[in-house]
Structure 1
């Protein structure tokens, strides 16, 4: 999809992304220029409006370059799911800017008070990936005195970003806590995911949200795994002369392990895309997706993450001290893989 030299440049920035805790300006601009945060935004609003399987392959491709970058692309485009839920003018204002990208949380950890013209909201939400550059924030709150949920859009000037993301992987995602204090949210910046309020939607916006999200996160895990295999192969080939010496022939032994694990990986990758394409074509054909098929696909997404982790862990044991040094690309990729796959949509 992308020029090879650009891909190598992105991959080379992995250590910098981790050090900064967010995307460097050059890479952020690349994401804007390529509309990577707008995979499901209509063309008329400056987006790419890809079909789901096509976008998922993009998520895998960029995750193979760097896990934090891939995660942020998937999360950023995931926010496009809300495009149809606003009245037309509000949708245009929110999503048409070139640098439009959502960060937020689905957890209801705040209180909304009904006032004239909207709500006053106070609270905080954890794990808001991309918080450092988001043009808007989305979060759920409980309506005061009820169990009703109010989903709001906050502007950056209303939000305090608490830099508390200290996970051992995906360090470059800036998945910090956000806080608002008595923030006024006009009624037009609230929405219901189940109700469409404009004509900007497409098939992807009516695809079941859980499986939409699971396919995205599974693709990120597969992509990070792909990057792990590529880095393992690079280390193996660069060490061939040293590791081929002696009766044990470490080079041949590890090559055999790598090839065996890669086969397992490609098998689950093939199943994942086959099931996704099958669901997608059924959905596009106007047919109701059966619960059994959706549940089966959810299991495939989790299995994709689990298999990829298992393959990486088995290989990890064969690379000695290089694998345990945090400055090693192999170690960084391994940590990113384990962190991405801990999302609640992918855990057992």
Structure 2
């Protein structure tokens, strides 16, 4: 099994150590490494365009990103959460924006709440479907015969310019849970307004719709009961949505600390000070950053594997396990950002220039921490569960 092979390799400490462990069964390690090299070579392009282009999304499909969470009954891989998270971590080490866009390959877990006949139509041409959603703010929709009439504007639709289908959040007006309506890109206007400091290549633009009709069978409750009975769709979907974003910072942090290691073996500074590796304070700081990052990473994958093992045994994932997934996700995001900040500070004046890799890592890592799923309130939710009091709504 891939999971056991990964856990026995250096991948536990360094995500890019074994490309074959992240590549799916359809992809060779050579092809996987070629795609990673292309991502590194094009990350400036992604920033300039403010999105990951469709031809790069096609390359991500080639290495199995967008079939990873597609049901096996529709030709997908339905890979374990740990396998997919390691895949995203490795892509994120090459580029945070590409990793963020690739992370939405997990959205097929959400889509599994669509009716089975709708899923058959969605995957009729193959399992490699890229989904992007601008789910908030929830917009009111008008009930129509057999569906809904939808208008409005939605924010933060990461990866929308390369998506095969798009989702938007709608309110039903009857007190029920909001729905996600699924549309083809031609029915949606992309408002290109992603002007940000970090994760520039994610293309997290607004979506705008004017009086579109969406049939009932193309709507679902996000995190709702799946119509597919396979192990992956018993994994807590909202917690998974937080995990696939948090893991981006584990990859970015790995890249940042590796960058400092390369710099440390170089020549002396312009002031004549010893080279970086000969400075005790720098060695201490790097060791502390590695310990913090690896500890958070171990907690992250331990919580993931514990929940998955419960599912494979036929047990439900407990509220306590779901809480640990949420807690480990926010901790991974924060520890990753802290490691990147440490690397930036240790690099000195070299890191202040636009073209230095640590500039990119710093900007990207700090944006990851700002996502609502990874905010400070997640610690409150986890603390509530530890102490036996009700957590905030939606936490579990």
- The two structures have a TM-score, normalised by structure 2, of 0.80
Cα distance change of structure 1 residues 294 and 100 upon mapping to structure 2, 3 Å threshold: closer
Cα distance change of structure 1 residues 63 and 96 upon mapping to structure 2, 3 Å threshold: farther
8 Å contact from structure 2 (residues 330, 374) kept in 1: yes
1:148 Cα offset (Å): 5.2
**Residue from 156, 167, 186 that aligns with 2:196:** 167
Question: Counterparts in 2 of 1:1-348, with a 5 A limit?
Answer: 1=20, 2-3=29-30, 4-75=33-104, 77-98=105-126, 100-144=129-173, 149-192=178-221, 193-197=223-227, 199=228, 201-237=229-265, 240-243=266-269, 246=272, 248-253=274-279, 254-348=282-376
For residues 120 and 6 of structure 1, what CA distance do their matches in structure 2 show?
41
For residues 264 and 148 of structure 2, what CA distance do their matches in structure 1 show?
58
Structure 1: stretches of 5+ with no match in the other structure? none
1:108 Cα offset (Å): 4.5
For residues 302 and 84 of structure 1, what CA distance do their matches in structure 2 show?
25
- More displaced stretch, 164-173 vs 46-55: 46-55
8 Å contact from structure 1 (residues 243, 251) kept in 2: no
Cα distance change of structure 1 residues 8 and 196 upon mapping to structure 2, 3 Å threshold: closer
For residues 132 and 340 of structure 2, what CA distance do their matches in structure 1 show?
30
Cα distance change of structure 1 residues 210 and 336 upon mapping to structure 2, 3 Å threshold: same
Over the residues paired in the alignment, what is the CA RMSD in angstroms? 2.2
Structure 2: stretches of 5+ with no match in the other structure? 1-19, 21-28, 377-396
SS in 2 for 1:32: helix
8 Å contact from structure 2 (residues 154, 168) kept in 1: yes
Cα distance change of structure 1 residues 57 and 184 upon mapping to structure 2, 3 Å threshold: same
Cα distance change of structure 1 residues 280 and 252 upon mapping to structure 2, 3 Å threshold: same
8 Å contact from structure 1 (residues 244, 250) kept in 2: no
8 Å contact from structure 1 (residues 264, 307) kept in 2: yes
1:241 Cα offset (Å): 2.3
1:216 Cα offset (Å): 1.3
What is the aligned residue count? 343
SS in 2 for 1:319: helix
For residues 44 and 145 of structure 1, what CA distance do their matches in structure 2 show?
34
8 Å contact from structure 2 (residues 182, 219) kept in 1: yes
- The two structures have a TM-score, normalised by structure 1, of 0.90
Cα distance change of structure 1 residues 160 and 24 upon mapping to structure 2, 3 Å threshold: closer
- More displaced stretch, 162-171 vs 248-257: 248-257
For residues 172 and 247 of structure 1, what CA distance do their matches in structure 2 show?
37
For residues 284 and 195 of structure 1, what CA distance do their matches in structure 2 show?
18
Cα distance change of structure 1 residues 149 and 83 upon mapping to structure 2, 3 Å threshold: closer
1:287 Cα offset (Å): 1.8
